[in-house]
C-alpha cells in the first residue's frame, strides 16, 4: 500500500506499507522530496525498514542532496548520509502506518 500524504511548496511525502498475507504490516517507509533553488536542488529524506513481530522497528534513515545538471536527465548526487532512525522518526512513521491502514479500512 502506498499513499501520497502531502504535496506542495513544502515537499512531497509518500508512505509505503507492506503487509503479510494476514494483513499485518511487516515493513514501512516514509519518503519526502523537497525541491528548491536555482539550480534546482533536491533533498530526499526517508526512513524505511522492517516492523518486527514484537512491534519494534529495524531500519535506516537516509538524506540525499542532489543538484539539477543542465543538459542531463538525472540530478547529480552531492551528498548521501545514512543514520539510525531516532525514536521520533520511528514514532512518526508508525503514526503514518496507522493512518494509512485506517484509510484502507484495516
pLDDT in tens, 32-63: 888 887 777 889 999 999 999 998 999 999 99
pLDDT at 39: 74
pLDDT at position 59: 96
Q: What's the pLDDT band for 8 if we cut at 50, 70, 90? A: low
The whole-angstrom separation of Cα 9 and Cα 96 is 20
- Residue 71 gets the label, from left (phi > 0), alpha (psi -120 to 50) or beta, of left
Other C-beta atoms closer than 10 Å to the C-beta of 64 total 17
* Residue 9, pLDDT above cutoff 80: no
Choice between 8 and 23, residue whose per-residue pLDDT is larger: 23
Amino acid at each position: 500500500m502506498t499513499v501520497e500524504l502531502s504535496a506542495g511548496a513544502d515537499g512531497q511525502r509518500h508512505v509505503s506499507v507492506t503487509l503479510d498475507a494476514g494483513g499485518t504490516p511487516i515493513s514501512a517507509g516514509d519518503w519526502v522530496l523537497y525541491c528548491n533553488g536555482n539550480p534546482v536542488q533536491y533533498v530526499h529524506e526517508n526512513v524505511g525498514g522492517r516492523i518486527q513481530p514484537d512491534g519494534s522497528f529495524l531500519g535506516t534513515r537516509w538524506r540525499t542532496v542532489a543538484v539539477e545538471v543542465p543538459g542531463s536527465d538525472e540530478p547529480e548526487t552531492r551528498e548521501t548520509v545514512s543514520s539510525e532512525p531516532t525514536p521520533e522518526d520511528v514514532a512518526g512513521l508508525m503514526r503514518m502506518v496507522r493512518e494509512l491502514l485506517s484509510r484502507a479500512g484495516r
